[in-house]
Structures are given as C-alpha cells and as structure tokens.
Structure 1
C-alpha cells in the first residue's frame, strides 16, 4: 500500500542551521550552491516518507539517490541540524542539504519566555538591574534631598567585549553584502550574514539580529524576482542594519540599539473594545484575509486578524468570517460596528488579540465615531498627527513602521479628482468656513480590482463639495497622501454621506460599496473653488538623484556606483543638487561616488585596503540623510497652507 503524497510548503529554518550547512561545504560545492538552490527550490516538497518508509516529514527529491527530509519541531520550524538530513553518501556535508535549507524561508527568532521578556524589559537589554521605584513611580533613594534634586542625564551604557565583537562581525558581513550588491549576494554572503546574526543573538543584540534577517529576506526576494519585492524596503533594511551595527561596534550600549527579545502573547486583563473599521489584506505571497481595528475605552488600539492562504478570494470571504476571540458569535462585519467585553485577554506586542482557551468575551453595543474613544481620532488637525508620527525616531525599524502605519482621522471636503487620486482639503468646521490646510490626495489603500476601494473613491469624486469623515493611514513616501480605510458622515451638516442605520455611520471602503443614494443631492453640496494641484514637494524635489544612487549601490553593488561616477553621473547630480540648495546631499553623494572607486594599493600595484568600511560609511551617510530629507519634505507638505 503506497502512502499518499501531498505537496506542502517548505518550513522555516533557523538562521544558524542554514549557516552551518553552507559552511560545511567544500569550496568546489560552494561554487555550485546558488544554482542548486534555484534548481531544488523549484521541486515541489511532499509529505511522503522517502522510499515508502522511515521517518515522516517534508521531503524534497534532489535526484535518484538523494532525498532531503526536513522534520520541523512543534513550532513548525527547523531549529536543529538533526531535523534536516539527506540520503546521499556525502551527507550531512552535501550540496543537496545546503541547497534545500537555503531555499527554505528564514525563521523569525523564537519568542522569549514571559519571565525573560520581563527581565529584558526591566534591564533595558543591558543586563543592569532595574532601579527600585517608589509607589509614585520615582526612583527610590536613601537620601530624600537627593531624590528631590534634578536628575542628571545618565552616562551612556558601555558594551561588553563580546557584544562589540558580535556587532563588528555583523557590520563586516553587512558591508560585504553592500559592496557585492544583489547580483553577487548569493547563498555564501547570505550564510555569513545569518551566522553573524546568530552570533548577535547569542550576545543579546536582538535589534541587530532582526535587521539582519530582514536583509536576508530582502536579498532572496530580489534575486528570485518575488512579486512583492520593493527595492526601497531592502535599502531601508540595510540602512538600519549598518546604522545599528556601526553604533554598537563603536561601543554605544543604548537600550534602543540593543533591543529586546521577541515576545509572544501576554496577559491583557479585562478589556472593553469598540470596532472602528475593517481592512482587507491581500499579500503577494498568496495570503488573504481581514483585519478589524478596535479601540479600547482608554484609547489603546487593538486588532483581530484572520489571514490565511487564499489571496483575493479569501480576503472577500473573510469580511464576514466569525471572530475567534473567546466564544463570541460575531463576524468581522458585526465586530467592526460593535464591540467586545473581554476577560482574560491575551495581547501580542503589536496589539493583536489572542484567542486562547482562557479568553472569555461577550458582545457589546457599538459606538459611532462621533462618541466614545473613536472621537479622539478627529480631535486633532492632520498636520499635528502626521508631524508626530513622522518624527518618531526610537525603536526598531518594524516599530517605527508600525507607528507610521497607525490610523488617523480627519474631516475633509472633496474638491476634485486627478487620475486615480481624489483631492480634498481639511474641513475646519462642519457649518462654516472655507477649507484650509494642504491639498490632500486620497489614494486607494488596496487597488486590487476584487476590492471596492477604487470604485468607492470614484463614487465620492462625483460629488465635489461633499463633506466626509475619513479614517486611514498616511503614505510616508508621498507628499500629503492619505490611504483611506473607511468613511462616514460629518456631524452637523447636510452636505455629507447618508448611510443606512445598520452601517452605524461608517462605510468600510474595501467591502461596503457606496451607491448614489448614499450621497446628498448635488445642490446641497456647496461647489468648491477650482483646485490647482501645483508642484509636489517630494516628487519634484531633486533628492531623487540621491535616491537613485543609493538604490543603485544596493541593486548593482559597488562596481555599478563606480562605473556611474566614471561616466560623469556624479558631477551632474552634484551640480543639480547644489543649484537647488541641497548642498549636503551633493557632498554626500559625491563622497559615495568617490569611495566607490577608491582603493589603496602598494608599490607593486596590489590592493592594500579595498576601503569597504569607508564605502559603507559613505553609503550609510547618504542613505540616512536622504531618509531624513524625504521625511522633512513629507511633513512640510502636510503643514502647507
């Protein structure tokens, strides 16, 4: 009797397992590794046991006499070299095993236990004991006078030699990847980066490890032509990795540079949360679903996600999927307009609500946006909120991205449309006063044709002068651009949406389709003044020349930057930047081009110092200045009158 064969995805593999398999190869086999990863990565993995017997697991047939079997642990991740084996005679130092492991996704670091996470949080990740505090939350002291005296800034924490060595090794691996570029950053440089990331993890440098894993994932997506790959994301990950490791290698032991271990769900106690909106999710890797955003009575944000393989069809169907928080019989559509009273809640670090066996929940009546905690979204001007979101500098790259992705609310008046963009201005008061503030562009949060975002924006564009209340996210890469997730009527005016009562004064733009009956008559909406888009602060800025150079360095490597400089590109870019007042950008881009083609040689013409560290430092300075400049331009676009 033959066992059934089922195709399954490759399991995630820990960084140290991949690095160990690659390091065990001979130099002859190492040269064949990239081609082997591409070849064996295309073989469909199956659950059938090799030769019809033996241990089960996930197997990949690499030839007539070579089958690689992966046996993930309870977490679904291969965390030990013994969980990966090959049937060929050269195993475990064989090309088949290293290639299959190299084709597997890189696993995230395991979540730290709650006690360890708490210890890390209290010590700031440096190993120093947390200060004793009084009941009022101030540091306790034996001398009451000393307690009342103004506190002086604490001296920067110093790193141990082991941590400095680990950071230096990770810096060297990252600079090698930067100098090589995407085409040459194959399995060997990636394995060196993974090994350095594992060493950083053992040294307790959690933020550096997480940044290194993001770089490896970005390199793999770039080399395979993944549909969801963005070069800007890889540039951002590499910039953060070099910045963190450079500061750590210099001995800076700031807790925000060290980071904390990844944590799982933690007890959240009793919560009362109210639905705000639903957001469809469609990923480039074939996953789809929905995320319902919730806010608690004390203005803390939470979410309930239902994302599984299935793409756009799964995203549409999940709109009414049951919510798995406790035993409550609610779907996401009802939860987004209702609420939950939760006892024994479990919450992840990013605010996701868990559904453990100890969680109990019951539904509560929903609240409109104009009352309850959701009303705080519309209490501030958009420019103030955007300035605060874009000015956050602490935390890891993922944490900063999460803060920038927080929901904001504003009252707008529709003034027109240009292409796929809906134009609007801030509405200071629902009854009187002309629109103020910058010209805000509304773009579809998810332009997929199976979702309703684009159709709803087109419907809103048919009624210039319409007042709408919007909840969405800012686009940090565009000037004054908002990605709306839901809209509702503005209180106190007739020139606004007229939604059905069961919608509770809100429409989820990804799911609810606006009709003509939901809009006021045209004569009710006061016609806005003709809109002139004018120049775009970011798109029309010459800093695109610096962005092109930094992305060229990552996509093509050091040689590509040097060849561009020899062709005179750096001189033209520098002149254009100086002519428009961006003198610092011109100096930094010129320094990057100079270092790309600079190598120190001895008397016999041999390379004495290839200048990789100097080149990486020049690239980091240009990339960091570019990011700061673009963020400043985006902030200015929201503050323009």
Structure 2
C-alpha cells in the first residue's frame, strides 16, 4: 500500500527539521518507499522499515494533518530521512480549513481597500514559489522546491486565499507525479495550473479584479433554492488526478436550467461503478445515480452551490418521480438552443455542456466523427468504456445521433462525449462513460472501416505555446535557446507581430542574467522572467480559445 496522504503544511514542517546533508539526499532516496508495505488499521498506519525501525502515522479521516503525528523509532528521529521520504512521496490532500485557520480569517475581517491584512504578502510568497518552479523547471523541482510551494500554499490558506491554495496543491501533485514518472503527469495541465495560480497572485498583488472572486471559498456554500421538479439527463464518470473518483448526474428543471448531483469521494477508478450503482444521497428516493439519469426527482427545501451543485442537507426532501426521454420536454428543449449561443455560454461561464445533433460520419482510432450542420467535429471519450463505445458507434456512418458533450476549449472542433441517443437497441440514452454498448445494440449494417487520423495543423501561435510548455518542463534555460529567436522571426514573417514580440521578450528575459566577478550567474530574484512567461501563457490561451470558437462555426456566425 502507498503511504497515507498528508495536509500541505506537513511537508515543509517535516523537511525543515532535516539537517542540510539529509535534505539534499531526499530526492535520491524516494525509491525506498516502493518497498514499504504500509499497514493501515483504523486511524493508525505503520511500516517496519528494518528490524529496529518502525514508522508510524496517526491519521484523521485517513490523512496526516500534523508533523508531530508522524513518528519514527530510529535513533535520528525526528530529524531522520525516513520521515522526510514519507511526506515527500505522499499525495497532498486539500482538506477543509481547521477551526484555528477559520478563526484567523474571521479575526482579519478588517478590510482595507477590499484587501484583508496579510493577503498581499501571502500572494507574494506563493508567486515566488511558482516563479522558482519556472526557473528550474519541473525536472529540477525536487522535494525542497515542492516543500516551499506547499509552505506558500499553507500561508495562502491561513489568510483565506483558498482559490490560489487549491491551485498550488494541484501544482504540487503534478510535481510529485513527474518525479515518480507517473502516467498521470501532463505538462500542459501543470502549465495551466501555474497560469491560474500566478494570475490570481498577480491580481492580488496589484489590486486588480474582484477580491472576493480572487479569494475563492474554503467550503462550498449552499443557498436555498426552494422546490424543484427535476428530470434526469445523464450520468458522468469522474476520475481526478488528485485522487478522487465517482459520478455526477446531470438533471434539468422545467425551465431547462441544468443542475448536478455528485457522488465523488477519495479513491480510484473502482469507485466509479460503485458510485454509479450507489444511492443518491438526497432524501430517501431509493434511486441509484444510474437510475436518476433516466428518471426524475421532486425536491422541497432544496439547496445549491453557485455552480448549481445540489446539496443533500437534512432539510432537503426528495421523492422519486417520472423522468423524460431526450425526445420529451423539457429535456428535448436543450437541443433547441443555437450552437453559437451554446458556445458563448461554454466559453464564458462554468456551464460548458454542449447539446449536439448530427449524423455519424465514422470514427478514427481516438474519436467519433459527427457531422453537424456547421461541419464535422470530433468526439473524444473520457474513460475506456467511452472510447470503446465511440468506436462502436463509428461503425454505422449515417446514423442520426444526439449527444451531450463537454467543450474542449483548446482544441478546434473537439468535445468530450458524455452520453448519446440514437437508433440503438437500448432504453433511452447511453451513458458513454459508464455503460457498455454491444454490437447487437447497433442498427443492422456492415461495420465501416476506421477513418484515417486527420492531419492536425498546429495553431498559428503554436510556436509560442510550445516554448511556454517547454519552460514548465525544463525551466528558464529552455527559453534562452537560440531556436527561440528563430521562432520569433517566423511568427513575425507570418504577420503575428504581437505574438512574436511576446516570444522575443520571454527569450530576452531568460538570457538576461547578472554575474559575479568570476562570471558565474547570480540567482535572479526579479519578476521579469516569470511575468514574461505568464503574459505569454495567457496570450496563447486566449489565442487558442478564439481559434477554437471560430473553428466550430461558419465564418458569418463565428464573427458574431
């Protein structure tokens, strides 16, 4: 079994206790943890490392929340390598703020110009930790760099910067995955998380934007929404890189407003089926999530978060009711919204579901090709079941299909398919991420051969985006390579002078280094390079989203 997860503040607390000689050895010793057979009994965990050494954890809801509750029996404890390895390889859990943390925030309600005391300083520290990751890259970010990031995360949480703190935990998780060589590591995801956290820190430091939105919330706040008559739409599997899994059921009310009913808990992919067939934690409906996606609910005393996630408080009363198929109102009305309006909603709000009607034109090895009135789009699968289902559907070109999908904002004409309905021998729709289609469910016909993979043309700003992502992996030296200057010249010749200027600025700040009298580079504490990287990352993100929006619609619609 792997070592128990830890709270963010535990990692720096343990590593700070190590003498410098042991701290330098942490990264080279992490492989030792693979041989540990950790045993968990209730709220206690332990592992016998050798005949004389036992490492013990005292857990709270399965998580180590204090450095003092990690105890080693070796002679060097608590300044031993065993404790350092245990927290360095552990996953980090962004738990709820403890009572003492909440008290600190409450006591700092004296707000000056919209800013709580300590926010700007905490944002500065977190900015600096992220900037250091950019300077050395993910490959150079060992346990000490990750520890400093988690220290900054804890400081941000103490002053109520929950949005930045949550992003910092995601970055730390990505660093750990990269160090372990895990398949879950994705440099583009880490780049997106760095962009998000650094942008929030930049705005907090500069006094830009709405402080309330920049702070975020520690707990999801549920507000009364009254009585609701809901109709099941579909059920979606959830599997996160931060160690959570389960399902979310999407429902719609009589006004065609979308709501969600989640069942997501710590665990792996095995939790998806358990959650799908498990009870809906709302009243005593007797419905599973899989059943709710095809039936209905009547709620009284309903509560919901701002993102329309329904609460399951004690005052909520729920009764099972008849549902509506995708051909019946109010569910059918979701497909009446023009595609241009759906895209505007998906790009500018958190409601990113698309309701698409088209004809199957085939499937590649990775996607189902669906022909809309505006042209062909690619539908991807988020789970193995979804990918297999899409390949089967692609064997019947010409088959009409209705799809619920989630927009992929950085890939042209691409969405992730969640559910589908068509001329299939099934009742109602298919939840693509959890159900399994068989060939017997398809209409009669000869299976069509897979389509060739489409030729993927890089976006016009691709040269800048490539450097932005490579900096995340390799650090500052990557942006200083001579090839960056050539790429900037290529962009300028293509007429993208603004993009070329950003790439040139990134390269210039990467090469500008102060040196001591002996010619050795001096660590650069300024914000010039991190700011240049953040500006370039934001430019590539917005450029890509504008390109994607235009790819979905004919020129006359895309211009509106």
For the superposition of Structure 1 and Structure 2, which TM-score range results when normalised by the shorter chain? 0.7 to 0.9
Equivalent of residue 551 in structure 1, options 445, 469, 476: 469
Pair 166,316 (structure 1): closer, same or farther in 2 beyond 3 Å: closer
- The equivalent of 1:626 in structure 2 is 540
Runs of at least 5 residues in structure 2 that lack an aligned partner in the other structure:
556-560
Aligned ranges for residues 387-536 of structure 1 at < 5 Å?
387-392=344-349, 403=350, 406-426=352-372, 436-446=373-383, 448=384, 451=385, 453-464=387-398, 466-489=399-422, 497=423, 503-504=427-428, 506-510=429-433, 511=435, 513=437, 519=443
- Report the alpha carbon displacement of residue 86 of structure 1 after superposing the two structures with TM: 1.9
Pair 270,45 (structure 1): closer, same or farther in 2 beyond 3 Å: farther
TM-score (normalised: structure 1): 0.76
CA distance in 2: counterparts of 1:81 and 1:534, whole angstroms: 52
Is 1:69 equivalent to 2:15 in the alignment? no
- The equivalent of 2:132 in structure 1 is 176
Q: Deviations over 1:129-177 (max 9, x none)?
A: 9xxxxxxxxxxxxxxxxxxxxxxxxxxx453563222221222221112
CA distance in 1: counterparts of 2:379 and 2:394, whole angstroms: 11
- Report the alpha carbon displacement of residue 347 of structure 1 after superposing the two structures with TM: 4.9
Q: Deviations over 1:161-207 (max 9, x none)?
A: 63222221222221112111112211111111111221222222222
Give the conservation status (yes or no) of the 8 Å contact 1:600–1:611: no
Is 1:576 equivalent to 2:513 in the alignment? no
Pair 417,389 (structure 1): closer, same or farther in 2 beyond 3 Å: same
Is 1:592 equivalent to 2:503 in the alignment? no
- The equivalent of 1:233 in structure 2 is 189
Aligned ranges for residues 309-388 of structure 1 at < 5 Å?
309=267, 311=269, 315=272, 319-345=276-302, 347=304, 351-353=308-310, 359-388=316-345
- Report the alpha carbon displacement of residue 371 of structure 1 after superposing the two structures with TM: 3.6
Q: Deviations over 1:420-465 (max 9, x none)?
A: 4433333xxxxxxxxx32322223343x1xx25434543354232x
User: Any idea what SS the aligned residue of 2:527 has?
Assistant: helix
Pair 571,561 (structure 1): closer, same or farther in 2 beyond 3 Å: closer
CA distance in 2: counterparts of 1:21 and 1:159, whole angstroms: 32
CA distance in 2: counterparts of 1:112 and 1:47, whole angstroms: 24
CA distance in 1: counterparts of 2:8 and 2:244, whole angstroms: 24
Give the conservation status (yes or no) of the 8 Å contact 2:425–2:440: no
Q: Deviations over 1:57-78 (max 9, x none)?
A: 11133343332211112x3332
- The equivalent of 1:91 in structure 2 is 77
User: Any idea what SS the aligned residue of 1:601 has?
Assistant: coil
Give the conservation status (yes or no) of the 8 Å contact 1:598–1:610: no
Pair 265,373 (structure 1): closer, same or farther in 2 beyond 3 Å: farther
Pair 388,168 (structure 1): closer, same or farther in 2 beyond 3 Å: same
Pair 86,602 (structure 1): closer, same or farther in 2 beyond 3 Å: closer
Equivalent of residue 204 in structure 1, options 147, 160, 163: 160
CA distance in 1: counterparts of 2:47 and 2:303, whole angstroms: 38
User: Any idea what SS the aligned residue of 1:411 has?
Assistant: strand
- The equivalent of 1:525 in structure 2 is none
User: Any idea what SS the aligned residue of 1:188 has?
Assistant: helix
Give the conservation status (yes or no) of the 8 Å contact 1:126–1:255: no
Pair 71,221 (structure 1): closer, same or farther in 2 beyond 3 Å: same
CA distance in 1: counterparts of 2:48 and 2:529, whole angstroms: 43
Q: Deviations over 1:259-290 (max 9, x none)?
A: 23321574655443221112234567897654
CA distance in 1: counterparts of 2:246 and 2:411, whole angstroms: 26
User: Any idea what SS the aligned residue of 1:337 has?
Assistant: coil
Pair 633,452 (structure 1): closer, same or farther in 2 beyond 3 Å: closer
CA distance in 2: counterparts of 1:301 and 1:264, whole angstroms: 15
Q: Deviations over 1:192-244 (max 9, x none)?
A: 11112212222222222222211111111111111222111101111122222
User: Any idea what SS the aligned residue of 1:596 has?
Assistant: helix
Runs of at least 5 residues in structure 1 that lack an aligned partner in the other structure:
1-6, 50-55, 130-156, 393-402, 427-435, 490-496, 523-530
CA distance in 1: counterparts of 2:500 and 2:68, whole angstroms: 53
